[in-house]
Amino acid sequence: MSEEQQPPVYETAAPAPAVVHVEKCGGSGWKWFWIVCGVCFIVSILAAALVGYGMMTRMTDLLKDPNFQTKRANAYQVDETLQFTEVLMKEGRSTADKVLMIPVQGVIMDAGSPYVEGIQLSSFKGQLKKAGKDSDVIAVVLKIDSPGGDAFLCDLMADAIREFQEQYKKPVISWIESMGASGGYYISAPCQWIVAHEMSLTGSIGVISSSVNYRGLMDKVGVKPVVYKSGKFKDMLRGSKAPDEILPEEQAMMQGLIDKMYLRFKNVVRNGRGPEARKEVENARPLADNWESFADGRILMGSEAYDAGLVDELGSEEEVMAAVARLTKGEGRPQVIRYESPMDWRGILKFFAQSHTPGVVKVELNGLNINGSSVMEPGKLYFLPPGE
């Protein structure tokens, strides 16, 4: 074919590049962010208004009360039971009878302690008071999972349990779960009945107090303490003392305090578990003749504590509820309830004030911080297991 007969060649225009529409990211995200912020702001304003209204109403009522000054002078007598709300935990066959369950978990220390989340004594006593006044509550169960704690606080809780049983004639049953040692057992001893699992850790009857002496470290870095005091014993347990500055009288006084508190611990067990205190309790397990030989600080398993007469029964929840029925002469299965305190402005502030350090793992054992810092404050006496 000649060149003249060849078909013409037409040039084709290159296709136009595709237009890519890039949407701006985050437009709707920011919108929702500001919406959420606005909602949170409105909710916080409403919460603050409610709290303020409640405080103003309460203050107005107090000012109108002719006995305001008397109540103000004796604020401890304010009825703590008003702050609790009843919450149903387990349905029962009997709707008239109720059993109050009070958890005692973690280290027994004041709730304001900087070391651990403690147990508020006023809350504990307030719950007992509310249960005592409620005719439908037939018994109280302490659900214990604690290694103990502050000796003073444990003693006050034990007193509250004794007073409750004497005043309202309602039994308190101690239910020791995984651990009810030292202070955990201290508050169990006055109870009418103690149930523990055979693998529970309990006992550890004893007292401990400790401090840290860091004078050797100070000497290494060339730091010397300068102390002014009003008496030679005013700086007892001072950690910057040299060993030769620790007076024998100091050691004797501290040991004397330990011995007195230890004697009190054994008396609490003897008076709470003795035949005189439990003569009306059916099938009460008596203390073994050699029970004091186990009161040397050692931790006991539930089965060992049972043999020593330190607990009445081995079992779990089923045995606890059966004990309630026996002690109250009740029929059927009662409801199980707990008391809940509504969150007030202090709880809200505490919630928002919590901070967490990234990269730090907080390790605790039954409420005890084991990251190197001790739960024990120097100079205080504690009911705690060995090694704490």
Q: Are 264 and 159 in contact (CB under 8 A)?
A: no
Tokens of 255: 């040991």
Axis-axis angle for helices 248-273, 151-168 (nearest 10): 20
Whole-angstrom distance, CA of residue 44 vs CA of residue 34: 15
Q: What is the token pair recorded at 36?
A: 């959420």
Cβ neighbors of 279 (< 8 A, separation 6 or more) are none
Predicted confidence at residue 77, as pLDDT, reads: 40
Task: For residues 289 and 291, give the distance between their C-alpha atoms in angstroms, rounded to a whole number.
Answer: 6
What are the domain boundaries of the chain? Answer: 78-204+273-383
100 within 8 A of 132, measured Cβ to Cβ: no
Q: Which of 146, 182, 200, 209 is catalytic?
A: 182
Instruction: Give me the phi and psi of 144, to 5 degrees please.
Output: -100, 130
Range 88-113 burial, b when 16+ CB lie within 10 A, else e: eeeebeeeebbbbbbebbbbbbeeeb
- Residue 136 and residue 98 in contact, taking contact as beta carbons nearer than 8 Å: yes
The helix (H) or strand (E) run that includes residue 361 is none
Residue 91 gets which letter from DSSP?
A: -
Tell me the two tokens of residue 250: 């100091």
Residue-level pLDDT at 149: 86
Largest CA distance in the chain: 134
Q: State yes or no: is 143 an active-site residue.
A: no
Q: Identify the residue whose tokens are 């049953």.
A: 173
Strand partners, 105: 145
Letter for the amino acid at 329?
Answer: K
Q: Concatenated DSSP letters for 59-75?
A: HHHHHH-TTHHHHHHTG
234 carries an active-site annotation: yes
Domain 78-204+273-383, classified CATH 3.90.226.10, yes or no? yes
The answer to whether residues 382 and 113 touch, using CB atoms and an 8 Å cutoff, is no
Structure tokens at 37: 């912020």
Q: In a structure prediction context, what are the per-residue pLDDT tens digits for the chain, which is 388 residues long?
A: 555 555 555 555 555 555 444 445 555 667 777 777 777 777 767 666 565 555 455 545 544 555 544 444 443 343 444 578 888 888 877 667 899 999 998 888 876 554 445 577 888 999 999 999 999 999 999 999 998 888 889 999 999 999 999 999 999 999 999 999 999 999 999 999 999 999 999 999 988 887 788 888 888 888 888 888 888 878 788 888 888 888 889 889 889 988 999 999 999 999 999 888 888 888 889 999 999 999 999 999 999 999 999 999 999 999 999 999 999 887 768 899 999 876 544 455 444 444 444 433 333 334 444 333 445 565 556 666 665 5
Q: What's the pLDDT score for residue 70?
A: 47
Instruction: Give the global pTM.
Output: 0.69
Q: Of residues 71, 229, 234, 350, which has the active-site annotation?
A: 234
pLDDT at 345: 46
**What is the spatial distance between Cα 321 and Cα 324, in angstroms, rounded to a whole number?**
5
Q: What pLDDT is recorded for position 241?
A: 84
